[in-house]
Amino acid sequence: MPIVVNQLAEAISQEVEARKDELINLLSKLIAFPTVSPPGRNTTEIQEFIKTYLENLGFQTDMWEVYPGDHNVVGILQGKDSKKYNSLIINGHVDVAEVGDDSEWSSSPFTARITDSYVYGRGTSDMKGGIAASLIAIKLLKELGITLQGDLQFQSVIGEEVGEAGTLSCLERGYTADYAVVVDSSNLHIQGQGGVITGWITIESKETYHDGMRRKMIHAGGGVNGASAIEKMMKIIAGLQELERHWAVTKRYKGFPPGTNTINPAVIEGGRHAAFVADKCSLWITVHFYPNEDYEDIIQEIEQHIMAVAASDPWLRENPPQFVWGGKSMIIDRGEIFPSLELDRDHPGTRLLVESYEKMIDQNPIVGMSTTVTDAGWLGRAGIPTSIFGPGTLEDAHVVDEKVEIQQLLDFTKVLAVFIAEWCNTCKQGKE
């Protein structure tokens, strides 16, 4: 029998409403830390704050440096019977998007402002609102005397805004669970996501020619088997456009508009000086793919197609394109990976999250796909069933006067508190 009966659900609902000021105060404290990324390297203080908060709730904590000045924090609240009962990860990132010209803001981006039932400030929607509400949900469960049989794990990570794999670092450190909720901006929808990977395609000549040699490369009888790497990159770009159109026609995924899987030629760098024929050209591309695709397969598809394009060109056959994919940091590697996440609607964790929403909000949640990407894909790729579920909208994230609706923060807190209480007190599959 589920631990959270109607009487306790009502108590949680009342308790959350009574803690509105406490929630806003906690969110205000988190907003006050200017954890803008890029440049990053500025999260140590906020992570120390969260670490202390978790320890005061009885969590055992682990804090480590991912990059200088940027630390991850993982807290674990040990369950009473961890082997038999479900464990849970709550995951969120503390870095926020760039502010831009703060004179365009109605008030300081790092000072919370409450107006017309919203909290304004950088990170309110993406995603310090989700972190603050999650911490309050955990705190009220403790103060209501709810004992968890399974382990509860809170991951406060860095670098999500610039593809720095803070969540991947948690996985590499060995952290796992039976289910995970990434509390990023989803407007309280329960979601999976497509994926994104960036890559560099480089063409480089084996020889460098002076500009005066160009006539011998392009006119009959010139006798010089040379080419401009910039001009040859035009063939590569055309090949990518051909593949992009092929994907748009042949691939689709429910919940995504046709043609969502795109190949964007985002940045091009080439040549060394006007007095030389360009002997090197590099193209930076961003690739979006569907939830049922893995980035390694996408890499293989692109490379096979582009190498076929190169094989049709006599010069490119001898000077084939080179590929560098992804990276752990857009700042350091100039590359990133966000794995896709297929949402398992039939998983007991997802079903319980839906039921928790229905119980506390008294309506059916929207279950579907996010049009953006989060760290959730790393958890899913590690074999952890995962959902994206958090307060805040994509429209309000990354913008001037970023905001989150206060009632949505409260509703999220109610749903998450009930979900934690039930999931961490439900036997693992096969352990009944």
CATH (domain of 181) = 3.40.630.10
The active-site residue out of 15, 70, 95, 178 is 95
pLDDT at 341: 98
Position 80 pLDDT exceeds 70:
yes
Domain of 207 in residue numbering reads as: 195-325
Residues 205 and 311 in one domain: yes
Instruction: Pick the closest to residue 160 from 200, 112, 123 (CA basis).
Output: 123
- The three-state secondary structure class of 366 is coil
Let me know if 95 is a catalytic residue. Answer: yes
Other beta carbons less than 10 A from residue 147's beta carbon: 12
Tell me which of 271, 301, 325 is where a domain ends.
Answer: 325
CATH (domain of 301) = 3.30.70.360
Tell me which of 261, 296, 325 is where a domain ends.
Answer: 325
Tell me which of 274, 293, 325 is where a domain ends.
Answer: 325
| Ramachandran area for residue 41 (φ above 0: left; ψ -120 to 50: alpha; else beta) | left
Residues 36 and 185 in one domain: yes
Residues 287 and 348 in one domain: no
pLDDT at 170: 98
The rounded distance, in Å, linking the Cα atoms of 273 and 271 is: 6
Residues 11 and 138 in one domain: yes
The active-site residue out of 15, 70, 126, 160 is 160
For 273-294, write each residue's pLDDT tens digit.
Answer: 999 999 999 999 999 999 999 9
The secondary structure of 218-255, three-state, reads HCCCCCCCCCCHHHHHHHHHHHHHHHHHHHHHHCCCCC
The model's pTM: 0.95
334 in a domain, yes or no?
Answer: no
pLDDT at 130: 98
Mean pLDDT of the chain: 96
Number of domains in the chain: 2
Residue pair 161/331 in contact (Cβ under 8 Å)? The answer is no
From residue 201, give the alpha-carbon distance in Å to each of 119, 236, 288, 326, 328.
Answer: 43, 9, 16, 12, 18
Residues 180 and 57 in one domain: yes
pLDDT at 194: 98
For 44-58, write each residue's pLDDT tens digit.
Answer: 999 999 999 999 999
Residues 230 and 369 in one domain: no
> What is the pLDDT confidence band of residue 103, given thresholds at 50, 70 and 90?
very high
59 in a domain, yes or no?
Answer: yes
Residues 162 and 141 in one domain: yes
